[in-house]
Structure 1
Amino acid sequence: MAEQKAEAKLSAGQRSKIRRLAAPQELSADDEAGELNIVPFLDMVVNILMFVLATVAVTFTATIETTPPSSGGGKVRIERADKALNLTVIVTNDGVALKAAGGNISTGCDGVGPGITFPTKNKGPDGEPVLDADAITECVRKLKDSSPDFKEETQIRITASNNISYRKVIECIDAVRKDKNGNDMFPDVLFGVPR
């Protein structure tokens, strides 16, 4: 009889509790097998990457081969023969002056004489003087072709006033390096320091 009492029926509440404790527990989404949820992290990385790519400014750098002035001052040029053009371009607000071994080139590139070779006639939209690059190129070609002694000369010195923009200096460099046919005139540009 004692055995029959041991096998007594369980109440419905007891059976339910036993089933709950014996059943495998389902893990919540936060507790799943201890794995990290990397989707939010990847979303953040992709968004940051897109932001960086959209805001990075691409900078193109152009280099111009030139020889800077030496710290000693006047000894920038390589020593050459006595018959050299020794052309210097001086860029100012008033225009462009050319100076050769024989003296200053006169207005309009008509010979030796005082004055600015190419005076500025008007100002551009930025308020800076407009340089006549074609006239500079023609005059430099004319000076280079004026004597057979100047044919092999490749160096030119460019000097600019302190208030002249970098763009104007580059325009002058471009005007004296090659002529309109693409032939080299003065590819070796030296910078001079105005006094």
Structure 2
Amino acid sequence: MRRRIREQEEAGELNIVPYLDIVTNLVMFMLLSMTGLVSLGVLNVSAPRIGGESAALQGAEQPKLLLTVAISRQGFYIASAGGALEGLEKSIDAARAPTVARKPDGAYDYAALAEHMKRIKARFPKETNLILSADGEVPYEVLVQTMDACRELRGAAAEGAQDRKLFPDVSLSILG
């Protein structure tokens, strides 16, 4: 009797091959569907570069702009770390008033920011780099809309402009 019980236990194995086939098909389907969705929401940003190609390409005759836009709870701070722009600070100082303050209703003023970027682009037409930094409490949507306002002109501001592109090469940084 003992011999028969052991033979029955060994013969009762589950065949999991059909289940693995289903799981493999589901995983393949999910991977293919995710790659289609991911490509729709890609923004081209990069980490700040130190030295390298861009420093070698810029001649000594043109001062470095090193344009930085910082987002805080008070508004937008615009600085030129290279000191190439008069009227702009060389560093971000949260103790002073922002360059572009928030609207009275509390919303960020993207149109005024785009107008500042347009004036800067008029003085530096070949410059494409921008360093964007944000306070940790700034919502992600504000960061994306700020990036859009700095990358190209939209709406009424773009009507009279020859080139709609402002600063398309955005590097992200931490405000600190």
> Which residue matches 1:118?
100
> Which residue matches 2:151?
177
> Which residue matches 1:191?
172
Identity of aligned residues (%): 22
Show the 5 A alignment for 1:38-187: 62-69=41-48, 75=50, 78-79=54-55, 80-81=58-59, 82-100=62-80, 101-102=82-83, 111-112=87-88, 115-123=97-105, 129-146=106-123, 150-180=124-154, 181=158, 183-187=164-168
**Are residues 93 and 103 of structure 1, via their aligned partners in 2, closer, same or farther at CA, if it must alter by over 3 Å?**
farther
Provide the rounded CA distance (Å) in 2 between the counterparts of 1:188 and 1:102: 20
**Are residues 93 and 76 of structure 1, via their aligned partners in 2, closer, same or farther at CA, if it must alter by over 3 Å?**
farther
Gap runs ≥5 in structure 1: 1-58, 106-110, 124-128
Give the SS at the match of 1:142: helix
- Which segment drifts farther, 81-90 or 163-172? 81-90
Deviations 1:96-150 (A, max 9, x none): 0000132788xxxxx3365310111345xxxxx411111111111101212xxx2
Give the SS at the match of 1:130: coil
**Are residues 184 and 192 of structure 1, via their aligned partners in 2, closer, same or farther at CA, if it must alter by over 3 Å?**
same
Amino acid in structure 2 at the alignment position of 1:140: M
Provide the rounded CA distance (Å) in 1 between the counterparts of 2:51 and 2:101: 27
Provide the rounded CA distance (Å) in 1 between the counterparts of 2:70 and 2:109: 14
TM-score (norm 1): 0.54
Q: Report if the CA contact (8 A) 1:155-1:188 is conserved.
A: yes
Structure scoring higher RCO (CA < 8 A, sep ≥ 6) equals: 2
The CA RMSD measured in Å over matched residues stands at 2.8
Q: Report if the CA contact (8 A) 2:65-2:84 is conserved.
A: no
Structure number with bigger Rg: 1
Provide the rounded CA distance (Å) in 1 between the counterparts of 2:140 and 2:66: 23
